[in-house]
Structure 1
């Protein structure tokens, strides 16, 4: 059996073909989408879980080294790992929110796969993370279909990390491929996510069109200019129909982080001053919420930075604010703050004002945000997304007949307005914001494996 697999930054989903149409499969209870999250007692628990409970062995010598170290660490910490200790999706988020300080929690590991400067051990660790998540999804999909899944087409962004970084793309695709093979997939193909979304839209067309697909996902924005329609449908070689691609690691997560930074970090000391009237270093308020940056998270939660934060509190005109930042450090609250910003972003797409209620230990903070505050906060990532639309059209040299927008953040009236400003008078259409990529991947899997 074959499936299309959208290993997304925000959510994962898979689909099979049933009577000529894609059908999304249940992955978490009755839900066809599962958040891209994992929780465990420790970072080291992932490798041990795969080996001990899933009989998934390391891929190479580096992986074996990671596994040995993981088992030794857990023994030293007197952690007797149980299969139920690893949680995925909403269950992982619940576990983290219940006890942030004693839970190892990862959201959107896809964001890190193309990061530069990763050591072999770090690459192996990310491979374990992705493998554990893929294994969980594959087992749940097989339970839904009562069939063994052997083949898959996995979606990938045009660029995982920055622009035109082929080294990053190769690194990220290699991690995904190895993880998928270890999780039990026999045959694995890849397809650009915007192309996959385009294939799903193409199934609705009765005439040939030139379509600009704009896929604004959780971690990346990708644009593909594609000739599509009845003449192309079902063809195995689509090379001539793919006119242009652009992509960058800027997506829904970046909007959430930007909003969190601009609107939610003041109670933690952003913009406040020391007794010497020096503004507090901005980096200390950016790093804890930059959840898509390995370096930022490592720097903020390092032991050395704890000493820096304690000194900033001593020197602060408003030490109570820096005390809250220390709570963020000790309780690992960065993910929680960004989640609050995400909830505000979603609410402000439909209402003019929103009150954020943040719980920091026993203290509840309230921050009011209005629509204009959000527009200002996300101006920089919005501009980057708009530039990608321009780039794809200029590269293709053709004005599209239609713009197909997909991805969770494509629902934003701010982002839709930015696209329409670049290409006025071109109709903007949408399908399933969350499922178009998955459905298109299933259609492409049918071409590849049937």
Structure 2
């Protein structure tokens, strides 16, 4: 039995060892595998998965996907003819292969962000199921290599809401994708637990008395808050519904902070704040779509042929066409993920530094942009205010004040965000948990309780 944090930013797996959760090493990824996948062609993902799927499910999986497998086989033959490596890559290696040539292959970061998207067609849902199952198969293989035994029982973390709109249908769709993927790769017993609740379970193990805890989990794709009644007398209960006082959650996370920093700090170098020859401001919709890597529809709109013609016309109509040439380069070479990755690296570096120079030489030789914490704070204003609202909502729904605020999630590591959270409830102590490991540890504790 394992706890599995299939996160928007990272994946991690835990087991219980001597009554304590232990995060496993996932091969070359270490304890945390970046949640990204690269395939030399999107059509061959299903073929890779078929080869790595759990045997009892393989025949049914194959029978239902004859067309996709046939299409993928044709793509594989083309790759072999061209001498292109046909294997899938995960984590940092996936990013590295993408950055080697962004215009080739298929790269996706944080697929969890897409699972609850409204309006997806059945083939799109099936495609995301293949991506998730491929990542799960890879993690499961590494887990079983580390443990030297088969793993069949898993507790997977989930946000309160995968999407803000039509949350009930969105959550149902996303959970179904995750369940199907987990079953495909050989998990027989699949359970889910809210990520902030799981993080709370890890904190609860350290408590010596009954405590009202407001858990704030700022992940890569969502922010979730839970008000929990916790303490030694509750720790072994299987039904914790009476102690789960309230929840709130919204699709605001690390990806959104990266996107806003890209817009505020990088996009002016691509002409976002420039003018047209008519002295009118530059239309900004394409700039937003270009970096909206967590929005299927926005990326589809940005990369369609009609928008390519529109961007070429914008360049002709611009007072600074050399800046619009960079945006056109993003379109032509599919550099959206590289732009947002530049912003993410800046955000990470601003954790320990007040200023950071972003390398943008992939857009133009010698191009760089300095960003600082003040600019990051300005770019993050809307996201931070939304997180504050979620915290207040959880407190109001619980109809009581917390004794302590427990903060977790990789995004909360930023001192800019951390300071903001400390200001929300001035008289209540704030405890910072393991930014990346608290949810995994809590899921692991819960797996021991429910599968014992």
| TM-score w.r.t. length of structure 2 | 0.95
- 1:344 to 2:346 alignment: yes
Measure the CA separation in 2 of the matches of 1:331 and 1:239.
50
Can you list the C-alpha shifts for 1:146-168, whole angstroms capped at 9, x where unaligned? 01000000000000011661000
Deviates more, 1:425-434 or 1:190-199: 425-434
Measure the CA separation in 1 of the matches of 2:161 and 2:288.
24
Measure the CA separation in 1 of the matches of 2:276 and 2:113.
35
Change in Cα spacing, 1:192 to 1:57, as seen in structure 2 (3 Å) is: farther
Measure the CA separation in 2 of the matches of 1:79 and 1:234.
58
Measure the CA separation in 1 of the matches of 2:234 and 2:23.
24
Can you list the C-alpha shifts for 1:202-247, whole angstroms capped at 9, x where unaligned? 0111111010000000000000000011010021110101000000
What is the DSSP-based 3-state SS (H/G/I as helix, E as strand, rest coil) of the residue aligned with 1:102?
A: coil
Can you list the C-alpha shifts for 1:326-345, whole angstroms capped at 9, x where unaligned? 11112211111111111211
Can you list the C-alpha shifts for 1:154-190, whole angstroms capped at 9, x where unaligned? 0000000116610000000000000000011111000
Q: CA deviation at 1:319?
A: 1.1
Q: Which residue of 2 aligns with 1:403?
A: 405
Q: Which residue of 2 aligns with 1:39?
A: 38
Q: CA deviation at 1:430?
A: 2.0
Q: Which residue of 2 aligns with 1:235?
A: 237
For structure 1, list consecutive stretches of 5 or more residues without a partner in the other structure: none
Q: Which residue of 1 aligns with 2:448?
A: 446
Q: CA deviation at 1:51?
A: 1.9
Deviates more, 1:270-279 or 1:69-78: 69-78
What is the DSSP-based 3-state SS (H/G/I as helix, E as strand, rest coil) of the residue aligned with 2:279?
A: coil
Measure the CA separation in 2 of the matches of 1:290 and 1:192.
26
For structure 2, list consecutive stretches of 5 or more residues without a partner in the other structure: none
Change in Cα spacing, 1:202 to 1:15, as seen in structure 2 (3 Å) is: same
- After TM superposition, list the pairs within 5 Å mapping 1:139-218 onto structure 2: 139-162=141-164, 165-218=167-220
From 394, 412, 415, the equivalent of 1:392 is: 394
1:50 touches 1:57 (CA, 8 Å); kept in 2? no
What is the DSSP-based 3-state SS (H/G/I as helix, E as strand, rest coil) of the residue aligned with 2:349?
A: helix
Q: CA deviation at 1:271?
A: 1.5
Q: Which residue of 2 aligns with 1:3?
A: 2
Q: CA deviation at 1:9?
A: 0.3
1:63 touches 1:124 (CA, 8 Å); kept in 2? no
Deviates more, 1:280-289 or 1:171-180: 280-289
- After TM superposition, list the pairs within 5 Å mapping 1:361-440 onto structure 2: 363-440=365-442
Change in Cα spacing, 1:43 to 1:224, as seen in structure 2 (3 Å) is: same
Q: Which residue of 1 aligns with 2:329?
A: 327
1:41 touches 1:86 (CA, 8 Å); kept in 2? yes
What is the DSSP-based 3-state SS (H/G/I as helix, E as strand, rest coil) of the residue aligned with 2:360?
A: strand
Q: CA deviation at 1:431?
A: 2.4
What is the DSSP-based 3-state SS (H/G/I as helix, E as strand, rest coil) of the residue aligned with 1:159?
A: coil
Work out the number of aligned pairs and report it.
449
Q: CA deviation at 1:195?
A: 0.3
Measure the CA separation in 2 of the matches of 1:97 and 1:106.
12
Q: CA deviation at 1:301?
A: 1.1
2:52 touches 2:185 (CA, 8 Å); kept in 1? no
Q: Which residue of 2 aligns with 1:302?
A: 304
Measure the CA separation in 2 of the matches of 1:163 and 1:309.
31
Change in Cα spacing, 1:97 to 1:82, as seen in structure 2 (3 Å) is: closer
Q: CA deviation at 1:350?
A: 2.7
Q: Which residue of 2 aligns with 1:123?
A: 125
2:270 touches 2:326 (CA, 8 Å); kept in 1? yes
| TM-score w.r.t. length of structure 1 | 0.95
Change in Cα spacing, 1:302 to 1:75, as seen in structure 2 (3 Å) is: farther
What is the DSSP-based 3-state SS (H/G/I as helix, E as strand, rest coil) of the residue aligned with 2:395?
A: helix
Deviates more, 1:344-353 or 1:296-305: 344-353
Change in Cα spacing, 1:97 to 1:28, as seen in structure 2 (3 Å) is: farther
Deviates more, 1:240-249 or 1:320-329: 320-329
Change in Cα spacing, 1:113 to 1:60, as seen in structure 2 (3 Å) is: farther
Measure the CA separation in 2 of the matches of 1:293 and 1:340.
18
What is the DSSP-based 3-state SS (H/G/I as helix, E as strand, rest coil) of the residue aligned with 2:234?
A: coil
Q: CA deviation at 1:69?
A: 3.8
What is the DSSP-based 3-state SS (H/G/I as helix, E as strand, rest coil) of the residue aligned with 1:265?
A: helix
- Cα RMSD (Å): 2.0
